Structure 1
């Protein structure tokens, strides 16, 4: 897959690459945050049509979620988000999304830096650019997609444009999945009750119609697809990992660098790999999880890879996927703690939120300075404060056993 990173000029214009003078393109457009089952259905259709027509399979992907950019602008008198502002609500990083697009057979990924000037262009102008520069012969979208200034480019309007101009075709994919749900306007993490260990149920499932209406009114709830990034984000914020993974079609994950922590875990027989706070991907609500840890290699290796191909290198993607594969020698079951270490925080005075995977393996793992992937398979229990080290060690042993039982099929 060839990757181009594109930044609009001050007026919002993008210098689109000329892919070919002869070969046409089948194109899809979106943020693809999470790359859930709906996104995957659209991308599979792009690749299928491209192969049938000897065209390029092209994904135009936005870097920075439009919701984040517009939300920041609304709260800051129209200003753009600072370049170093981390989007903590993003389910997946650009690298994670590109890795999946590459694996699915996309030929060209065009990563567009999304900003307000770019967003102000009409959908007609935007699609005209894709036809003229990319050679777009077919546009593939999900059934409720919108684009352009004011999101006026819905499926009906885009179909009318395709019919009137005759220069491209619109192919609509039924990516709605199993219906719709409601999510709060603001998604804040809420841990399950401390006295109820195990995978929590989706709180919306147990509500009758009256309760759901009251909940929706209190939370300014709005309707979204079950197969949507917003729904995945809500489920993870409640610890409903298995339900979130069902929407994604794979285990949700974060990726980051292993750094030195307090090193208390190794002194009690449960050494953990402490991740930096600026991980890639959405961090679920505080608690203890079962899952996997994958060693993706030294950070220096990633930096070398990313010096190519617009900041991303598909050879690095191949290596990542090989390490992530079931049965890989770089993949281990892991009990994962997310939280502020309440058992020791009063003693240390440190209350930083950390991610600490404990690999359930007899081997000693030296992962400092390595980039790792932490995948979540299920929720074990909320964070609690233990009476002391002995009680904590007994709990950690139990978490390790539960993790092995939950991940054995992998």
Structure 2
């Protein structure tokens, strides 16, 4: 899969790659945060149509998320977030999304750095660029997609434009899934207070009770298959429901660093994620899941630095993304995967980069022989299967060890290991 990173100029213009002279493109556009079932349906349709018409399957991917850019601008007198700003609300980093797209068979991803000047372009101008510069013959969108300045380019407007110009076709995918749900307007994370997977608070309610609940919590109508709903569920510890929407286990990734090593003293050494964590951390608590060793991180870090330099100097970076090694490591029967009890906690200090409390994520890998895994300097992935327990302060080491042993047993049971 070819990945092309594009940086708009100050006027929001993009130097799109030249189209193929003999093959057209089937294109979709969006952020695809989380790559949930709705996103997979849209991208899968792109690949399907591209194969039928001998075209390129192309995804135009915006990074950072438009929501982050517009919120930052509103809070900083129209300024844009500086490069490297951490998006603590992103479900997945770009690399995780690219990995899924590669697995679905996408030929080319155009990663466009989203800017306010770029966002100010009309949808008509943008689609003209797609046809003339990218060779788009078919545009694939979800049922409620919108693009362009003030999101004026909804599906109806784009369908009208396609019919009037005759230069491209619009294919609309029914990506709505099971419909809609209402989530509280104040959807800030709230840790469960009881052990076990939290339940839907509206489960079993009558229509009248649901209306009353929605009014009390100022419930917003939200698609079930949406990044917003997944973020809300993870913020309540409802891992099973979130994973159902994602169509895969939610995961976060980072590099293992030395921690305080308290777990090792108790016989439960953990892999601690340090620095930048790629992916949305669920609410504080103890979870059952998996730890996957993605390999030494040094080479990736060097590549990231080179890539950043190229983007700074040239504005465009073309590379070939080969995720076969990581896919093999993540496979269900991989020797680089272990059941793990995962702990997430919050420090009392704020991060200067995010303005939020710092989070700590660590995992105890359950190995067959009980051996400790030396993963320092490796990039690892924590995959979440279910919520086990709220964060609890135990009275003494014996009580803590007993609780840790219980988490290990529960983890084995939940992951089927």
Please state which structure has a larger fraction of its residues in strand.
2
Using the alignment, how far apart are the partners of 2:300 and 2:373 within structure 1?
Answer: 20
How far apart are residue 353 of structure 1 and its match? Answer: 3.1
Compare 393-402 and 180-189 and name the one that shifted more.
Answer: 180-189
Judging changes above 3 Å, is the alpha-carbon distance between structure 1 residues 322 and 305 closer, same or farther for their aligned structure 2 residues? farther
Judging changes above 3 Å, is the alpha-carbon distance between structure 1 residues 162 and 252 closer, same or farther for their aligned structure 2 residues? same
Using the alignment, how far apart are the partners of 1:338 and 1:287 within structure 2?
Answer: 5
The answer to whether the 8 Å contact 1:305/1:313 transfers is no
How far apart are residue 192 of structure 1 and its match? Answer: 1.0
Compare 299-308 and 60-69 and name the one that shifted more.
Answer: 299-308
Deviations for 1:259-279, whole angstroms, at most 9, x for unmatched residues?
A: 000011111110000111520
Give unpaired runs (5+ residues) of structure 1: 343-350
Query: What SS is found at the alignment partner of 1:354?
Result: strand
The answer to whether the 8 Å contact 1:287/1:382 transfers is yes
1:205 corresponds to which of 203, 206, 216: 203
The corresponding residue for 1:148 is 148
The corresponding residue for 1:394 is 402
TM normalised by structure 1 equals 0.93
Using the alignment, how far apart are the partners of 2:245 and 2:36 within structure 1?
Answer: 6
2:344 corresponds to which of 334, 338, 351: 338
How far apart are residue 13 of structure 1 and its match? Answer: 0.9
Using the alignment, how far apart are the partners of 1:299 and 1:376 within structure 2?
Answer: 22
Using the alignment, how far apart are the partners of 1:335 and 1:58 within structure 2?
Answer: 38
The corresponding residue for 1:265 is 263
The answer to whether the 8 Å contact 2:2/2:319 transfers is no
- Equivalenced residue count is 398
Judging changes above 3 Å, is the alpha-carbon distance between structure 1 residues 35 and 236 closer, same or farther for their aligned structure 2 residues? same
Query: What SS is found at the alignment partner of 2:329?
Result: helix
Deviations for 1:45-97, whole angstroms, at most 9, x for unmatched residues?
A: 00000000000000000011111111222222222122232110000000000
Judging changes above 3 Å, is the alpha-carbon distance between structure 1 residues 250 and 386 closer, same or farther for their aligned structure 2 residues? same
How does 1:29-48 map onto structure 2 within 5 Å? 29-48=29-48
The answer to whether the 8 Å contact 2:2/2:318 transfers is no
Compare 128-137 and 277-286 and name the one that shifted more.
Answer: 277-286
How far apart are residue 218 of structure 1 and its match? Answer: 5.0
Using the alignment, how far apart are the partners of 2:396 and 2:76 within structure 1?
Answer: 46
TM normalised by structure 2 equals 0.91
Judging changes above 3 Å, is the alpha-carbon distance between structure 1 residues 79 and 209 closer, same or farther for their aligned structure 2 residues? farther
How far apart are residue 213 of structure 1 and its match? Answer: 3.9
Compare 332-341 and 381-390 and name the one that shifted more.
Answer: 332-341
Give unpaired runs (5+ residues) of structure 2: 308-315, 349-356
The corresponding residue for 2:359 is 353
The corresponding residue for 2:387 is 379
Compare 67-76 and 182-191 and name the one that shifted more.
Answer: 182-191
Query: What SS is found at the alignment partner of 1:39?
Result: helix
The corresponding residue for 2:248 is 250
Judging changes above 3 Å, is the alpha-carbon distance between structure 1 residues 78 and 174 closer, same or farther for their aligned structure 2 residues? same
The answer to whether 1:285 aligns with 2:291 is no
The answer to whether 1:324 aligns with 2:322 is no
Using the alignment, how far apart are the partners of 1:324 and 1:381 within structure 2?
Answer: 26
The answer to whether the 8 Å contact 1:305/1:312 transfers is no
Query: What SS is found at the alignment partner of 1:51?
Result: helix
